[in-house]
Amino acid sequence: MPVEPWVHGELSGGLARRVRETDPESLSGPPLEGAGGRGAISRVEIGGRPFLLKRERRGGMAGRFLPDLYRDLRPFAREWEVARRLAALDLTPPLAARWFVPRAGGFRVWTLLVPAEGARSLLDLLREEGLTREPLEEAGGLVGRLHGFGLLHGDLNAGNLIRIPEGVWRILDLRHSGLYPALPGEARRANLLRLARSLHKSSLRFGLPLDPKAPGWLLRGYGAGFGVEDPWLPALEARIRRGFPVRSLLYR
């Protein structure tokens, strides 16, 4: 059954109507330089306003056989709601719209994003500047605030944390994330360990030295953002400093 496009309330009047009437597969624009993730992201214009258009795609083994065909709306509905609530707190760019295009008993998904011009991900900053104190503390602070709000990010990595020119940090890619009344320490610890693994993997990829002070910067920022210095943070810092086995760096 066809699904009507979802349009964020921030788009009103003629622009909202124009978006609803747009066929996302007919849009084309230059690719977004340096865009990560599995979705192909391009710059487009609708009604004279610039946007980013992302074609949603799977990764892993499933992505080899059904890279962009979906049958379950629930993960997209969950992401839409999580993004709506976080955008109201200026913790993520809003999802402007989402289209579901019927195909072969399922649908393809296209997401319209509000561009954060001049934004740089933690991965970008790592590649350009190395593991420096300020961005690690600030990114850790964002993760602490998100955990305090009850967000558990399902793919927390250096590419999904961005800093806009005003110095504000935001989170991206919430499809596999959820909001909870409270997050137990073990879940928060595992999420931080995932981010640390991403930083370790990226450092090796770019041929950067693994600064032993980097875990401390990240976790100090986290404690400040969360508002509580968890007693397990020193042990986690020591664990991250020991590094990660090669097998754990092979998966996403």
Q: Which pLDDT tens digit goes with each residue over 9-33?
A: 888 889 999 999 999 989 888 877 6
Instruction: Find, among 211, 73, 80, 70, the residue nearest to 136 by Cα.
Output: 211
Per-residue confidence (pLDDT) for residue 250, from 0 to 100: 58
160 and 239 within one domain = yes
Instruction: Find, among 143, 251, 231, the residue nearest to 195 by Cα.
Output: 143
Can you tell me the distance from the alpha carbon of 44 to that of 7, in angstroms, rounded to the nearest whole number?
16
> 173 exposed, middle or buried (CB, 10 Å; 0-12, 13-18, 19+)?
buried
244 and 130 within one domain = yes
What CATH number is given to the structural domain containing 88? 3.30.200
Can you tell me the distance from the alpha carbon of 202 to that of 110, in angstroms, rounded to the nearest whole number?
28
Rounded mean pLDDT, 146-150: 97
Q: Note down the domain range covering 126.
A: 120-249
Q: Above 60 in pLDDT, residue 63?
A: no
93 and 133 within one domain = no
212 and 181 within one domain = yes
Q: How many domains does the chain have?
A: 2
168 and 212 within one domain = yes
Rounded mean pLDDT, 87-116: 91
What CATH number is given to the structural domain containing 190? 1.10.510.10
Residues labelled as active-site residues: 155
124 and 109 within one domain = no
Instruction: Find, among 203, 192, 174, 194, the residue nearest to 37 by Cα.
Output: 174
78 and 171 within one domain = no
Which tokens go with 119? Answer: 């934004």
Which has the minimum average pLDDT: 39-48, 75-84, 111-120, 214-223?
Answer: 39-48
Higher pLDDT, 207 or 248: 207
Contact 233, 218 (CB under 8 A): no
3-state secondary structure string across 56-105: CCCCHHHHHHCCCCECCCHHHHHHHHHHHHHHHCCCCCCEEEEEEEEECC
245 and 124 within one domain = yes
Give the CA diameter of the chain: 56
pTM of the model: 0.88
Can you tell me the distance from the alpha carbon of 186 to that of 147, in angstroms, rounded to the nearest whole number?
12
Can you tell me the distance from the alpha carbon of 155 to that of 175, in angstroms, rounded to the nearest whole number?
9
Rounded mean pLDDT, 198-215: 91
Per-residue confidence (pLDDT) for residue 220, from 0 to 100: 97
